[in-house]
Chain A
Amino acid sequence: MSNLFRSKFKFKNRVEPGSMGLGRQTSLIEWVLRLFLGCTFIFSSWHKIVSPDQFATIVYGYDVFPHQIINVLAIVVPFVELVCGISLITGLLKRSGLLIINAMLAGFIFLISFNLIRGHEFDCGCFSLGETKGVWSSIWLLVRDLVMLGAGIYLFRLFDKKDRL
């Protein structure tokens, strides 16, 4: 029994050769992803905060939302992007911030796919107001958001792994 305990104890405290390097590598990947997603969301929120009227027109252009909530979405969504981006970079409620970012990305992917399937052209308004429309532009957006969602999910798993240690 004591041998078993000892072996378990040893296993938990044993430092595997190269594991320090692996931990550092994971931390670096985590930081890069946090900066990438955080900065992307902060950057993309800025023009929407400065010109909410133009962003509202873009939200209208998606032709999905009820007219009553278009302005409210145009007012709130950019700040959700900004606050979650800051939360991810600073580390304050980073898990929650990342959850919201992933949920938003899933929402964007759904919206873009929905409009692509029904052949509705729209201006995404992601990084600048008045981006070009078209099928290929929508496909590119879809790929971009899928990559970011993949990065977001991977980052959340990294957070989980770190919490378990």
Chain B
Amino acid sequence: MIFKRDIIGCFFLLIICVMLSFGVNALSPNGIALRGQWNPDQGVVMAGANKPHAVDVMQINNPFKVKRLLESGPAVVLDVRRPDIYDLGHIPGALNFPLDDFEEDEKALPSKITPEDEIIVYCAGVTCQDSHTFATRLVEMGFTHVAVYAGGFAEWEEMGFDVAVQGIDP
């Protein structure tokens, strides 16, 4: 049987939870914003930090723009997914620099790209935030022309664009 005191106790506990959670979130370095970006049409979906970022990375939401940049210019495309997933299929010409191995990537990156290069970073899709994390680190390392392809590989494949498999570019 549920008594009135149980219901009052529930409210009391919930008030403690709300105060504690917002307090910890405000002070924690991992805290998130009260409202996130959850509209896939506007780019990568993410909770967002509770403090404004020092680095704001540009996003490309148009797959045709990425294709155009790849075909026409000297843009370097970086795939930050795991190597086994990269081998199954990736954007042609994309270099694999998994976010999980960033320490190793950091050493190898200067031999593959220069700070002047136009760099496009992508991962699985709009729900994947690894491309953002990787791009932010690149900007912090001194690379200036860095953008994230928000739709990622899922959108690229969906658009029916060419896909390279196991390092063999079409």
**In the complex, A87→B32 CA distance in Å?**
26
Minimum distance in angstroms from B69 CB to a CB of chain A: 28
Selecting from B12-20, B53-61, B95-103, B157-165, the interface stretch reads: B12-20
Is B9 positioned at the interface, with any CB of A under 8 Å from its CB? yes
**In the complex, A80→B45 CA distance in Å?**
25
Given A49-B24, A60-B127, A83-B20, A71 contacting B36 (CB threshold 8 A): yes
Query: Inside 8 A of B2's CB, which chain A residues have their CB?
Result: 99
Size of the chain B interface, CB-CB below 8 angstroms:
36
Query: Contact at A96–B127, with CB atoms within 8 Å?
Result: no
**In the complex, A70→B16 CA distance in Å?**
20
Chain B, residue nearest A76 (CB):
B21
Query: Inside 8 A of B12's CB, which chain A residues have their CB?
Result: 93, 96
Query: Contact at A68–B20, with CB atoms within 8 Å?
Result: no
Query: Contact at B38–A53, with CB atoms within 8 Å?
Result: no
Query: Inside 8 A of A79's CB, which chain B residues have their CB?
Result: 17-18, 20-21, 24
Binary contact track A77-90/B, C-beta < 8 Å → 1, others 0 = 01110111001000
Is B39 positioned at the interface, with any CB of A under 8 Å from its CB? yes
User: Interface size for chain A: under 10, 10 to 19, 20 to 34, or 35 or more residues?
Assistant: 20 to 34
Is B112 positioned at the interface, with any CB of A under 8 Å from its CB? no
Is A67 positioned at the interface, with any CB of B under 8 Å from its CB? yes
Query: Contact at B10–A100, with CB atoms within 8 Å?
Result: yes
Query: Inside 8 A of B34's CB, which chain A residues have their CB?
Result: 71-72, 75
Query: Inside 8 A of A87's CB, which chain B residues have their CB?
Result: 13
Query: Inside 8 A of B139's CB, which chain A residues have their CB?
Result: none
A50, A60, A83: the one within 8 Å of B16 (CB): A83
Instruction: Please report A residues at the B interface, Cβ cutoff 8 Å.
Output: 49-53, 56-57, 60-61, 67-68, 70-72, 74-76, 78-80, 82-84, 87, 93, 95-97, 99-100, 160
A-B complex: 9 closest residue pairs judged by Cβ atoms? A96-B9, A56-B47, A79-B21, A67-B38, A53-B47, A93-B9, A79-B17, A96-B10, A80-B17
